Structure 1
Amino acid sequence: MTSRPLILPLLGMVGGLLSAHHLNIFLTPYLLPILLIVMLACAILRSRMPFLFFLTAFFFAWGNAALQPFLRPSYPSNHLVRFVSHVPVTLEGIVATRPEAKDEGMRFVIAAERVFRDGKAIPVEGRLLVHIREGRGNILTGDRVRLAARLRQPTNLGLPGEFDYRRYLAYRQIYVTASVLSNDNILLMREAAAYPFQRRFDSLAGELGDFIGKRFPVEGGILRAILVGERGYVNKRTEEIYARAGVNHILSISGFHIGIIAVTIYYLLLKLLARSEILALGLNLRRTVLLVALPPVVFYLYIAGLAPATVRSVIMIAIATIALLLERETDPINTLTAAAFSILIFTPQTLFDISFQLSFLAIWGLIILTPLFMEPFSSINNTKLKNLLLFVAASAAAITVTLLPVAHMFHRTSVAGLIGNFVAVPLLGYGAVVTGFASLPLIHLAPDAAHFLLGIAAWLVRLSGSLIEIIAGIPPLPLRSVSLLDLSVFYPALLALTLVKTYRMRYSVCLLAIATLFMLHIPAGANSNRMLRITFFSIGQGESTLITFPDGRHMLVDGGGSLRDDGMDTGTRYLAPALWSMGVDRLDIVVLSHPHPDHLKGLISLAELFPIGEFWESGIEEPVGDHAKLRSILAGQGVPVRNITSATPSCTMGNVKITPLAPAPDTLGCNSDQNDNSLVFKLIYGEFSMLFTGDIGHCGEKMLLRDPGKLGCTVLKVPHHGSRHSTTPMLLDVASPLVAFISAGAGNSFGLPSPETISRLHQRGISVFRTDLHGTVEVTSDGKGYSIRTYSDGHFH
């Protein structure tokens, strides 16, 4: 450890951060001074072990305490959270971050100054994240703006595999959000501008981006992303293609871009200055060029909007430059740990930024794994072949070391990246980035010369895009679900590889880690405890339920979806990660209760992401719109479609009887309301039963009550999200459930579930579970009794 003095402090701080973030363990801040005193006292001891122990403990406590202001905030009396309500307020403040293009709109952060209520200005404080759904104006950092909006506190849905959006914002000290329809709803008040330095760079970046976009409208999105950090102009299809090819990292200005630019500037200046005999003899050219190359890199850092990845890269370059100027040898691992430690000391929450993790892991892989991969080829003397192998080894190292974290975060892994980097790195990384960067200073000085250089960059973008689209067709690895337990094996293995010296020991560490991970993923017997598990997903104002039968097969009932055409893709954003995180990689049966958007839309993307055995629906009418699109995808994959009605015979899966109850064949097409034509069925497992009702209303319930003897159940899925037009007293009396589940979005505009429905349920002593209040809810039965759990904070409770 003496050769790498920052390893232990860094490990201590990371441990403290992890204890607060993942385990919600919060130590008293008074522990810090105690540990500091004990650590200093141990410094005089002959043995270094006590000092190192308390040094690590001190930074553990530091890391733990550093997150507490974010995770356990103490709001002052005039904080924005005091104004969160259903009633819109008028708010004024200063734009504190560079506005970021998103989809067809934009978003930015406001440092709030005052709220207007009843004609009075009330001073406030706090940061507000503002979403503009349509339009991108000329708002810059430092502008004073005024808007009217409803303030909300960010919340999570309570869904397995869900991105923790609330904590993501908390680490940016954002506890309130607002959304406005259009950029026209933002009043720009051009008084004295704050943040003048950053504002100038934001303005310059906007001008450069506009020039690129106007001159090259087709390739402009990618060029703006890799040159000025405006990734929001890259269309969704391009993003998806680059992601499938494993090269979407190239679209964000990162350490890679900074490194390429720094190295290019260094060698060009070195070659240029070396032509002068006076300069070559009178100066230490290497030191001089290192110093001269640093300002353009810092300039580019501000043009890119101070993105965390670029800040980290500049810090590492600065550390390496200082070490070289002082004529000290630089151990790459020491440089890496120094950069990480420097960043975490000032911004500890950055540890949980996935770009921070991936950028440091990629560099670590290049340092440690590349030599390991090249060791078998050490005897090769052919320079060109060795350089080619080195490139392959470096790409493989970066992919290998980021494979599990990427799968954990994005549920996506691809070997295509190994091939894709052969295209993206030379054409975009070296070619388009370097020529594009050279054009930026010329945009104002010599626009035609800038256009020429950008034309070369655009051609490289077109060429690489064509090749990347082919590479994107390579099937991904079947690795979708990586747990924190997997990462708890993976990261210590990386640490061990860093500390051990010999190649033999490093190979042993790799084999041991791979064997451990393999053992963790050996499948157990198919649901050997013979349990029926029904999971009601919390997906907002929609509905989706996963049924896991005792034999391990899976049935998904409905897929949620936004009522708006431009709404969130529930299948890709929420349901697929939830299913993968639960170990579900195949859906044996998918059921569509009725083709309304809040039940249907999410199934479209799921049909493309998951193998499906059968598709069930009521067959009430000819598919149109999204329904037709879903059926087309299913047909293309050869998925059999079954029309299920009350006349369909019961079937059994894993000793669970499935009995269709509606719609009746004689009513198909007679009811103009698709809700009342919902597919209704009942599960029976021993003494446990559950009634699935779709969105039926009073009319549909009357049809069910024709045969009341089949309606008795342990659990009732409440019809139509708890609407007052369903769940009649007669249905409740006949079904006589012990538990009722309601799927509804938190704070939805429909007022669901209705107070009347809730009252009827409570009057009968029925336990009510709601996704808007309880998050995802799971009921488990062994055929005799049952148990219910709710999901929050990353776990079922």
Structure 2
Amino acid sequence: MLAALFFSYLCGLLLAPFLASDAVPTALPFFMALCWFPLRRHRIGLATLLLFMTLCGVLLYHLHLTPVDNQEAISALFKSEKIHLHGRVVAAVPREGEGLRIDLDQISTSAAVAIPGRVRLYVRKKGAAILAGEEVQVLTRLRPPRNFGIPGEFDMERYLARRKIVAVGHIDSSQNIARFVTTPSLTYRLSRFRQRMAETIDTVAPVNTAPLVKALLLGQKESLPQALRQKIAAAGLSHLFAISGLHFATLSLLLYMLLRSLYTLSERALLFAPPRRILPPLTLPFLVLYLLFTGTALSAQRALLMLTIALILFFHRRRTRPFSLLTAAAFLLLLLDPLALYEPSLQLSLAGVAGILAFNPCCRPYLPRQSLLRGASLLFCTTFAATLPTLPLILHHFHLFAPAGLLLNLVAVPLVAMLALPLGLAGILIAPFWPAMTEVAIGGCGHILSTVLSLTETTLSLPILAERYLFLTLSDQLFLAVLVVSFLFATSKNVKMLMAIPISLAVLYLIPSMVPQQPLSLTALSVGQGDATLLQLGSDHFLIDSGGFRNSRFDSGERLIVPALARLGVRKLEGVILSHDHPDHAGGLPFLLKHFPINHFYAATPARKLTNHLGEILQEQNIPFSELSAGWSSTTDSSGATLAFFVPDQGHPNKNERSVAVYAGVDSHGLLLTGDLGAPGIEQLLASKIPGPVDLLKIPHHGSRFSPLIPLLERLKPQQTFVSAGYDNPYSLPHPTRVKAIKKAGLPLWRTDLQGSLEFTFKDRNWLTRQWNKSLFR
């Protein structure tokens, strides 16, 4: 029954993102509960109860997604300039480099408006340590959390809503933060102790592994340098540096040994009850303190809940199946925190434990009897059992396949679990009483991790074990997930389930081929203040530009473009077309060219003159390059679809004026993409012979007032227009004069800054327009 209720509740949480917030009236679940009570002894009563849990999942998801009610007051703050915020720090997390992330609660403002939620502040350069529990005052400009509105992106709005964050701001330095003396709270004392431990680790651990020690013992994964984080992920060792059940099992064992040594000193205590009966529950308060100390990671919460339920059952002399224990912990956690289901850390934690519980019992009868071989074989089976069910999730969230993981875990897990982690945790436990020994223990932990890191670097240098990026389509991911489940249930005696598995695999394999191909469609990807457009001609896909940000480490290719292509079912690109070599158009190309199948690359600039080493990357990846010549050049496929490129004068000093324009058409209908052309480029374009009619027009240069629009509208007479621009961009694009001109012409203007990604499909001799909303084009 518990599993059925949990599954129904999960279905509600999974359906909720696709439904409007008012899709389920608040009273409906209560009505279903009332209907269940008189029907509880009948079969329909069970169905009513399961439907009730599904509706609860939908309702709780949306209630937690909108954590505050006073939205109007908060919206007014977004329109103002910088304001003073006074609040209490609930989290202060070091970031890579010199950055810092601060979450504030109990906030009052200089605008006399109390913010009913939390504010996240990103500090570019940290100075003196800011600790949780302190009261601070800052001057900043607030902005609402906002997604790009592109398929496949990380849902930042949901991520922040789970943490009750309603606004974000930026500060140049922590020196600009005023701090106030307050009565030390438990949160402040734990934060101060954590800071002391971090300073000790920086002092005694080897420089190259100090960040790993802090991640392992303190949960400070965000401070890991990007290169080190990628190396650990490529080795398949990230799970070792997340606070999880391994930490709580080790810590509880250390605490039990310490308490037992004290307990056995009392003869009266031994006569009262044996140590194993009394001491395990006494470790719980210390484990809760460690959870708070390390930042309450979801994997840690799951582990502590399972341990707590197990101890309660043990104390009452009750037994339960491990799967029931996992289900109960997950159910309770998601009832209290529904949005946690969409956190990768919880998904990976639950999947890994479920895989071990499902696979290991089947393997044990076949393991060697010799103790050393049996231990090594059991470790390999456990690693394989945890890796297999997490593989689809890792590919979904991180698109990374780490073949070295199975091999490295055989050595890294014993070193970390049996040596580094116990040493480090023991050092933390004795820190208040024996600082000198703490330094020795943490130093030893650091040296062990240095050995693990050296082994990792050596293993990853082997080409066969190097990491690989895999961007699977949604149907491919579902196919892989069903394949993994079928393997885990290979020993099941349920014949119907075993028969359903190959049928499901066949359906998932055939679904993509059953979807009809449209002759012409265009997707304007919302990539901020940049440009990226996906063009589909029959079964061929072309990408025009890839977005990008000036002076930013945010890689639009890795974070936006390639995930969007996979989410939209694109397995390869027939061609990539670069309109012009500016960061907001070419910034995502390096990652795209390295990690996604591409048949051809087109540009008007010679390959050797392209920035970001694009020419070298094209050569390394063996991607054919075509330098487009001046004027129009076009191709026509067997279906009659036309793809043409217009190259203006390449001698102009402004790269915008050298933008390549792209025309695509079918059946006397077409679209025109004008890049960032200004007055000279538009004049040349209009003077040329455009290959066909234009029904859909992309407004040039993000709607800039310096790009002539009226001549384009008068000459081409489009039916629809769209513009690619970033939300609240500093250039105020599209310019109001351009918006007004399009409105005066009686044409619809679609905007990526306001409506997110846009899909234009030519169907039945008309353009069907849809926008990305709630995980679908609608």
Flag whether TM exceeds 0.5 (same fold): yes
Deviations 1:662-686 (A, max 9, x none): 12xxx433x2111111122322323
> What's the counterpart of residue 342 of structure 2?
352
Structure 2 residue 557 is the aligned partner of structure 1 residue 571: yes
Moved more, 717-726 or 522-531: 522-531
> What's the counterpart of residue 743 of structure 1?
724
Deviations 1:544-566 (A, max 9, x none): 1112221x2222111110012x3
How far 1:761 moved relative to its partner? 2.4
Give the 3 Å change call, closer, same or farther, for CA 444–533 of structure 1 in structure 2.
same
Answer yes or no: is the 8 Å Cα contact 1:149–1:178 preserved in 2: yes
Answer yes or no: is the 8 Å Cα contact 2:633–2:645 preserved in 1: yes
CA distance in 2, matches of 1:527, 1:442: 63
Give the 3 Å change call, closer, same or farther, for CA 269–422 of structure 1 in structure 2.
farther
Aligned with residue 155 of structure 1, among 139, 146, 163 = 146
- The residue matched to 1:613 in structure 2 has which SS? coil
TM-score by length of 1: 0.88
Aligned with residue 97 of structure 1, among 88, 91, 101 = 91
> What's the counterpart of residue 759 of structure 1?
740
Give the 3 Å change call, closer, same or farther, for CA 192–263 of structure 1 in structure 2.
closer
Give aligned pairs, total.
Answer: 772
> What's the counterpart of residue 176 of structure 1?
167
Moved more, 282-291 or 356-365: 282-291
Answer yes or no: is the 8 Å Cα contact 1:106–1:133 preserved in 2: yes
Letter of the 2:78 partner, please give it: V
Answer yes or no: is the 8 Å Cα contact 1:407–1:482 preserved in 2: no
CA distance in 2, matches of 1:341, 1:543: 43
Question: How is 1:599-618 mapped onto 2 (pairs within 5 angstroms)?
Answer: 599-618=585-604
> What's the counterpart of residue 319 of structure 1?
309
> What's the counterpart of residue 60 of structure 2?
66
Letter of the 1:146 partner, please give it: Q
- The residue matched to 1:8 in structure 2 has which SS? helix
Structure 2 residue 713 is the aligned partner of structure 1 residue 732: yes
How far 1:759 moved relative to its partner? 2.3
Answer yes or no: is the 8 Å Cα contact 2:659–2:676 preserved in 1: yes
> What's the counterpart of residue 30 of structure 1?
27
> What's the counterpart of residue 572 of structure 2?
586
Question: How is 1:621-700 mapped onto 2 (pairs within 5 angstroms)?
Answer: 623=609, 627-647=611-631, 649-653=633-637, 655-663=640-648, 667-669=649-651, 671-700=652-681
Aligned with residue 430 of structure 1, among 411, 418, 421 = 418
Letter of the 1:794 partner, please give it: S
> What's the counterpart of residue 460 of structure 1?
448
> What's the counterpart of residue 705 of structure 1?
686
> What's the counterpart of residue 16 of structure 2?
20
> What's the counterpart of residue 557 of structure 1?
544
Deviations 1:660-715 (A, max 9, x none): 3212xxx433x211111112232232312222222111121222233255585222
CA distance in 1, matches of 2:660, 2:452: 48
How far 1:80 moved relative to its partner? 3.0
Question: How is 1:505-584 mapped onto 2 (pairs within 5 angstroms)?
Answer: 505=493, 509=497, 512-513=500-501, 515-522=503-510, 524-525=512-513, 529=517, 531-550=519-538, 552-564=539-551, 566-584=552-570
Aligned with residue 82 of structure 2, among 83, 88, 96 = 88
Aligned with residue 472 of structure 2, among 466, 472, 481 = 481
Moved more, 423-432 or 781-790: 781-790
Letter of the 1:630 partner, please give it: L
Give the 3 Å change call, closer, same or farther, for CA 657–605 of structure 1 in structure 2.
same
How far 1:470 moved relative to its partner? 4.6
> What's the counterpart of residue 200 of structure 2?
211
Question: How is 1:109-508 mapped onto 2 (pairs within 5 angstroms)?
Answer: 109-117=103-111, 121-135=112-126, 137-192=128-183, 196-216=185-205, 217-263=207-253, 265-266=255-256, 283-374=273-364, 377=366, 380-472=368-460, 474=465, 480-481=471-472, 483=474, 503-505=491-493
Give the 3 Å change call, closer, same or farther, for CA 95–724 of structure 1 in structure 2.
same
Letter of the 1:389 partner, please give it: S
Letter of the 2:567 partner, please give it: S
CA distance in 2, matches of 1:505, 1:175: 50
Moved more, 761-770 or 406-415: 406-415
CA distance in 1, matches of 2:681, 2:4: 66
CA distance in 2, matches of 1:522, 1:268: 60
Give the 3 Å change call, closer, same or farther, for CA 372–531 of structure 1 in structure 2.
farther
Deviations 1:337-361 (A, max 9, x none): 2222332333333233232222122
Give the 3 Å change call, closer, same or farther, for CA 437–514 of structure 1 in structure 2.
farther
Answer yes or no: is the 8 Å Cα contact 2:525–2:532 preserved in 1: yes
Structure 2 residue 6 is the aligned partner of structure 1 residue 10: yes
Give the 3 Å change call, closer, same or farther, for CA 493–393 of structure 1 in structure 2.
closer
Answer yes or no: is the 8 Å Cα contact 2:18–2:774 preserved in 1: no
Answer yes or no: is the 8 Å Cα contact 2:669–2:695 preserved in 1: yes
Answer yes or no: is the 8 Å Cα contact 1:202–1:305 preserved in 2: no
Give the 3 Å change call, closer, same or farther, for CA 298–73 of structure 1 in structure 2.
closer
RMSD of the alignment, in Å? Answer: 3.3
How far 1:289 moved relative to its partner? 4.2
How far 1:200 moved relative to its partner? 0.8
Letter of the 2:308 partner, please give it: A
How far 1:154 moved relative to its partner? 1.4
Deviations 1:608-632 (A, max 9, x none): 21132222211269626xx142222
- The residue matched to 2:88 in structure 1 has which SS? strand
CA distance in 1, matches of 2:434, 2:308: 31
Structure 1 segments unaligned to the other structure (5+ residues): none
How far 1:91 moved relative to its partner? 1.9
Moved more, 87-96 or 404-413: 404-413
- The residue matched to 2:325 in structure 1 has which SS? helix
- The residue matched to 2:384 in structure 1 has which SS? helix
Moved more, 242-251 or 576-585: 242-251
- The residue matched to 1:146 in structure 2 has which SS? strand
Structure 2 segments unaligned to the other structure (5+ residues): none
How far 1:479 moved relative to its partner? 5.5
Deviations 1:581-614 (A, max 9, x none): 1222322321211111101111011112113222
CA distance in 1, matches of 2:378, 2:315: 29
TM-score by length of 2: 0.90
Letter of the 2:564 partner, please give it: A
Moved more, 217-226 or 586-595: 586-595
CA distance in 1, matches of 2:7, 2:443: 47
Answer yes or no: is the 8 Å Cα contact 2:475–2:512 preserved in 1: no
Deviations 1:85-126 (A, max 9, x none): 152222211122344535542222212432213xxx444432
CA distance in 2, matches of 1:776, 1:134: 34
Moved more, 426-435 or 479-488: 479-488
How far 1:42 moved relative to its partner? 5.0
Answer yes or no: is the 8 Å Cα contact 1:89–1:115 preserved in 2: yes
Answer yes or no: is the 8 Å Cα contact 2:426–2:441 preserved in 1: yes
CA distance in 2, matches of 1:307, 1:462: 25
State percent identity of aligned pairs. 28
Letter of the 1:223 partner, please give it: V
CA distance in 1, matches of 2:62, 2:690: 56
Letter of the 2:199 partner, please give it: D
CA distance in 2, matches of 1:676, 1:526: 43
